[in-house]
């Protein structure tokens, strides 16, 4: 029985065959000394722009003009180069079986820190693009789909990633080496709902929830490292429309094997969705977003390429808000821009080099009562990464990053957070905070440590410097692993991580320019077992110790006396059964406390979601029909309860009196999403995907918080995004 993925691949294969009469097709397969396929091998005609890269099965195909002579080269770091003369008299297409022999081993597949998830085999638990696209309730969104993985807590229904007790600001998103600090649409106090990055443009992704390499800096908790697709092989278009959005994706080869373009545009229009599901009355402006992603790829040699990528996104919303002191409307809108030029190449035959020059700009406006705040965030960055295999058991990685970040805050904020009325006292902000950070790292990967086969070590050191604030940090990190047998691996990691606090805390008037970098120490131990055919199990225990967290101070505004910890266990089982059933089960237990910001003592943090459980199951009824479900359960989020109220006659308002920090908990979060998908070939040539999705099918009454009446004697539930059952219909067509 063909599954969904096989059906899609077969369609793409049979609809992309086109051979020009004046061209010669060179194709084949590249394997290693054990006849195993080798992916990502550079295969090209020396001295020309003609060439390609092997796919995950080691296969390649490209065209040259008939009668053209030259030397065919197949090369990848760690293997001896293959060369073969192509005769100019060749009249028929050429097929080659190429075997590469190691000058060293592929350390990148053997040496990986724990806590990792990736779309490539050998880099952690495999989460493929088809997993993202078909996860019920995930809206084909990378962030929403990742939240079904262990190590991520269900603090809210936003797309923001809360990693092992960390604030979302403690996880960084990189796209082709460049940071994107605001990758979400419709940001509000509850976070952004979806990603601005279209999954159709993603070639690979790597996510780590702890103990990650020194390659990643200025971040305490997690990393999402995304690489976008390279040259398109064929011309392809896709359009999709649902009750909530419309999109178009295009792949456009501009010059064969040399230049190409990818485009993706999406526009949301949630009004039909709100109308069908009965929530129109909650908005004055139904949430609307739009984004445009584009990339231009130019291959200037057999191994080198340039990729110019850009993103333009914007959104707006008007949400009715009921608070104790006012009934008003929250108006929010944002504009997000991103551009990145990346160069990749192989130099000196065995050194992979990646360079990136990037700029991103984010502008956000929030308005509610007296609150009228405009925030901007501009980032310039240059980054270079190098990777060299020295011997068959030794690899070196090194790199440098220089980043200039400028954040501004302009407008009015309330003097007291319990009073947002327009007539209340406000605080004027006109702040512009800029700082330059320089980071460098060096790392070694050693296989067969001390002569012990299958024992490996990762050791690295990272330094980050922010001269404006006098900050200098050095982070050693280590990882060790042992492959017990062909199916199981034991790993352990330790590392120091630093991150510069929120720039607002460095402000001259109400912050402290002398703050230090926040610090976390990670301890991770994990066990992986591979059952074969993509079926696997991982269990992992961890602890993070926080130090130098910002804490409110009556004299200095803030000091670095805050601290905390996060500890827990994560488990995932992922795979498929012969019956056509596939999916994964994940569970995470966490205990985390902090003493920071306005906390009065060491208390449960708002990210202390004790139990997180996800079940994602998909069943192929036939080659053309699939059903799936996604069930989530999470312990209720901690919150600080209102225990009384004090009347302030001079201001004619009640002031809430709070209990102990985060001593209350919201009810447990429960949600079951269901999806049915149908594949069809329209008119015999247009591949179409029809789907119907029901979110929160059992209509669990999940909440995002409470609102109160004027004297705080009665509280009301604020529903979550999907606090009621929601139905979505849609179709996607390739042509």
Per-residue model confidence (pLDDT) at position 132: 67
Residue of 673, 611, 538, 687 whose CA lies nearest to 140: 673
Q: Which two tokens mark 725?
A: 């059952």
Taking 50 as the threshold, does the pLDDT of residue 3 lie above it? no
Residue of 538, 294, 503 whose CA lies nearest to 408: 503
pLDDT band for position 256 (cuts 50, 70, 90)? confident
For 195, which DSSP code?
B
Q: Between these two residues, 706 and 685, which has the higher pLDDT value?
A: 706
Distance separating alpha carbons of residues 280 and 282, to the nearest angstrom:
5
pLDDT band for position 387 (cuts 50, 70, 90)? very high
What residue ranges define each of the domains in the chain, with the CATH number in brackets? 4-103 (2.60.40.1120), 207-734 (2.40.170.20)
Secondary structure (3-state) at 591: strand
Question: Model confidence over 353-383: pLDDT tens digits?
Answer: 999 999 999 999 999 999 999 999 999 999 9
Per-residue model confidence (pLDDT) at position 721: 72
Spatial neighbors of 108 by CB under 8 A, at least 6 apart, are 122, 123, 395
pLDDT band for position 12 (cuts 50, 70, 90)? very low
**Strand order across the 70-75 sheet:** 51-53, 42-45, 70-75, 82-86
Question: Model confidence over 584-593: pLDDT tens digits?
Answer: 899 999 999 9
Question: Model confidence over 262-281: pLDDT tens digits?
Answer: 999 988 877 777 776 666 77
Evaluate whether 162 touches 607 at the Cβ level (below 8 Å).
yes
Per-residue model confidence (pLDDT) at position 15: 37
Question: Model confidence over 50-66: pLDDT tens digits?
Answer: 788 888 788 988 888 77
pLDDT band for position 110 (cuts 50, 70, 90)? very low
Ranking 21-25, 207-211, 545-549 by mean pLDDT, the lowest is 21-25
Question: Model confidence over 159-214: pLDDT tens digits?
Answer: 788 899 898 899 999 999 999 998 887 765 556 667 777 777 888 888 888 889 99
What is the average pLDDT across 696-718?
90
Identify which of 160-164, 256-260, 556-560 has the greatest average pLDDT. Answer: 556-560
**Burial bucket for residue 415 (CB in 10 Å: 0-12, 13-18, 19+):** exposed
Taking 60 as the threshold, does the pLDDT of residue 634 lie above it? yes
Q: Please give the full DSSP string across 75-120, using - where no structure is assigned.
A: E-TTBPPEEEEEPTT--S-EEEEEE--BSS--HHHH---SSEEESS
* 694-710 b/e (C-beta count within 10 Å ≥ 16 → b): bbbbeebebbbbeebee
Evaluate whether 52 touches 25 at the Cβ level (below 8 Å).
no
* Cα radius of gyration (the chain): 27
Residue of 177, 633, 104 whose CA lies nearest to 384: 177
Q: Which residue has the tokens 């074969």?
A: 532
Per-residue model confidence (pLDDT) at position 636: 93
Residue of 102, 83, 86, 103 whose CA lies nearest to 42: 83
Evaluate whether 639 touches 666 at the Cβ level (below 8 Å).
yes
Distance separating alpha carbons of residues 656 and 710, to the nearest angstrom:
10
Taking 90 as the threshold, does the pLDDT of residue 118 lie above it? no
Distance separating alpha carbons of residues 605 and 322, to the nearest angstrom:
26
Distance separating alpha carbons of residues 620 and 678, to the nearest angstrom:
10
Distance separating alpha carbons of residues 141 and 642, to the nearest angstrom:
36
Distance separating alpha carbons of residues 479 and 21, to the nearest angstrom:
54
* 452-466 b/e (C-beta count within 10 Å ≥ 16 → b): eeeebbbebebbbeb
Per-residue model confidence (pLDDT) at position 16: 37
Per-residue model confidence (pLDDT) at position 107: 39
- Average pLDDT, rounded, for the chain: 85
The tally of CA atoms less than 13 A away on the side-chain side of residue 404 is 5
Q: Are strands 642-648 and 259-268 parallel, antiparallel or unpaired?
A: unpaired
**Residue 22: φ, ψ to 5°:** -95, 10
% the chain with pLDDT above 70:
89
Evaluate whether 444 touches 459 at the Cβ level (below 8 Å).
yes
Question: Model confidence over 561-592: pLDDT tens digits?
Answer: 999 999 999 999 988 877 788 888 999 999 99
Distance separating alpha carbons of residues 102 and 412, to the nearest angstrom:
63
Neighbouring CB atoms inside 10 A of 21's CB total 5
CA 233 from centroid of its chain's CA atoms: 26
Tell me the CA end-to-end span of the chain in Å, nearest whole number.
25
Enter the pTM of the model. Answer: 0.84
Helices (H) and strands (E) in the chain, counts: 5, 42
Question: Model confidence over 66-94: pLDDT tens digits?
Answer: 766 688 888 876 677 888 888 755 567 88
Distance separating alpha carbons of residues 490 and 28, to the nearest angstrom:
37
Distance separating alpha carbons of residues 379 and 510, to the nearest angstrom:
24
Distance separating alpha carbons of residues 635 and 622, to the nearest angstrom:
37
Residue of 501, 3, 625 whose CA lies nearest to 219: 501
Q: Between these two residues, 660 and 9, which has the higher pLDDT value?
A: 660
Evaluate whether 624 touches 678 at the Cβ level (below 8 Å).
yes
Residue of 264, 258, 259, 256 whose CA lies nearest to 237: 264
What is the average pLDDT across 6-21?
37
């Amino acid at each position: 029985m063909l599954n969904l993925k096989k059906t899609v691949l077969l369609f793409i294969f049979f609809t992309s065959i086109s051979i020009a009469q004046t061209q010669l097709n060179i194709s084949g397969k590249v394997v290693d000394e054990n006849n195993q396929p080798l992916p990502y091998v550079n295969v090209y005609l020396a001295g020309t722009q003609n060439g390609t890269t092997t796919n995950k099965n080691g296969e390649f195909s490209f065209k040259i003009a008939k009668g053209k002579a030259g030397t065919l080269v197949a090369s990848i770091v760690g293997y001896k180069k293959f060369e073969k003369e192509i005769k100019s008299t060749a009249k028929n297409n050429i097929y080659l079986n190429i075997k590469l022999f190691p000058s060293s081993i592929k350390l990148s597949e053997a040496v990986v820190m724990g806590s990792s998830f990736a779309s490539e085999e050998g880099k952690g638990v495999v989460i493929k693009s088809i997993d993202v696209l078909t996860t019920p309730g995930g809206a084909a969104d990378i962030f929403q789909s990742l939240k079904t993985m262990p190590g991520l807590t269900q603090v809210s229904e936003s797309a923001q990633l809360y990693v092992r007790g960390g604030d979302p600001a403690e996880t960084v998103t990189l796209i082709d080496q460049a940071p994107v600090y605001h990758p979400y649409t419709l940001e509000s106090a509850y976070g952004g709902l979806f990603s601005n990055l279209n999954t159709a443009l993603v070639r690979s992704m790597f996510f780590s929830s702890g103990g990650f390499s020194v390659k990643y800096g200025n971040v305490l908790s997690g990393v999402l490292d995304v690489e976008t697709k390279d040259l398109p092989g064929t011309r392809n278009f896709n359009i999709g429309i649902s009750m909530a959005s419309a999109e178009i994706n295009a792949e456009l080869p501009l010059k064969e094997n040399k230049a190409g373009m990818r485009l993706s545009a999406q526009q949301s229009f949630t009004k039909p969705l709100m109308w069908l599901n009965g929530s129109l009355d909650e908005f004055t402006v139904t949430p609307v977003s739009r984004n445009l992603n584009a990339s231009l790829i130019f291959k200037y040699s057999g191994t080198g390429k340039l990729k110019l990528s850009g993103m333009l996104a914007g959104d707006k919303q008007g949400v009715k808000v009921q608070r104790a002191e006012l009934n008003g409307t929250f108006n929010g809108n944002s504009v997000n821009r991103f551009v990145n030029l990346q160069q990749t190449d192989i130099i000196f035959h065995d050194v992979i080099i990646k360079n990136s020059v990037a700029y991103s700009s984010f502008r956000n406006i929030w308005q509610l009562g007296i609150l009228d705040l405009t925030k901007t965030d501009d980032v310039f960055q240059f980054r270079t990464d190098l990777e060299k295999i020295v011997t068959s058991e030794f690899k070196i990685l090194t790199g440098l990053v220089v980043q200039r970040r400028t954040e501004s805050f302009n407008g009015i904020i309330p003097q007291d957070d319990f009073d947002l009325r327009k007539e209340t006292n406000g605080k004027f902000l006109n702040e512009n905070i800029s700082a330059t950070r320089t980071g460098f790292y060096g790392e070694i990967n050693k296989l067969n440590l001390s002569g012990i086969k299958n024992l490996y070590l990762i050791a690295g050191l990272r330094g980050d410097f922010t001269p404006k604030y006098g900050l200098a940090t050095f982070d050693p990190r280590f990882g060790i692993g042992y492959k017990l047998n062909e199916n199981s691996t034991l790993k352990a990691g330790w590392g120091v991580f630093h991150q510069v606090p929120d720039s607002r805390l460095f402000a001259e008037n109400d912050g402290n320019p002398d703050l230090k970098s926040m610090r976390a120490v990670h301890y991770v131990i994990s066990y992986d077992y591979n059952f074969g055919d993509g079926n696997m199990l991982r269990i992992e225990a961890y602890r993070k110790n926080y130090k130098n967290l910002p804490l409110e101070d009556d004299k200095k505004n803030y000091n670095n006396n805050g601290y905390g910890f996060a500890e827990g266990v994560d488990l995932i089982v992922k795979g498929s059964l012969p019956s056509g059933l596939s999916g994964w089960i994940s569970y995470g237990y966490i205990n985390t406390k902090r003493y920071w910001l306005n906390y009065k003592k060491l208390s449960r943090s708002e990210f202390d979601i004790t139990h997180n459980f996800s079940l994602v199951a998909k069943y192929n009824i036939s080659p053309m029909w699939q059903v799936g479900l996604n069930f989530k359960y999470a312990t209720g989020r901690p919150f600080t309860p209102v225990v009384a109220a004090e009347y302030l006659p001079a201001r004619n308002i009640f002031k809430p009196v709070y209990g102990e920090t985060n001593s209350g908990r919201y009810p447990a979060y429960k949600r079951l999403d269901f999806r049915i998908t149908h594949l069809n070939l329209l008119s015999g040539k247009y591949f179409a995907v029809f789907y119907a999705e029901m979110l929160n099918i059992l209509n669990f009454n999940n909440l995002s918080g409470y609102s109160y009446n004027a004297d705080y004697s009665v509280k009301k539930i604020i529903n979550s995004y999907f606090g009621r059952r929601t139905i979505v219909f849609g179709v996607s067509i390739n042509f």
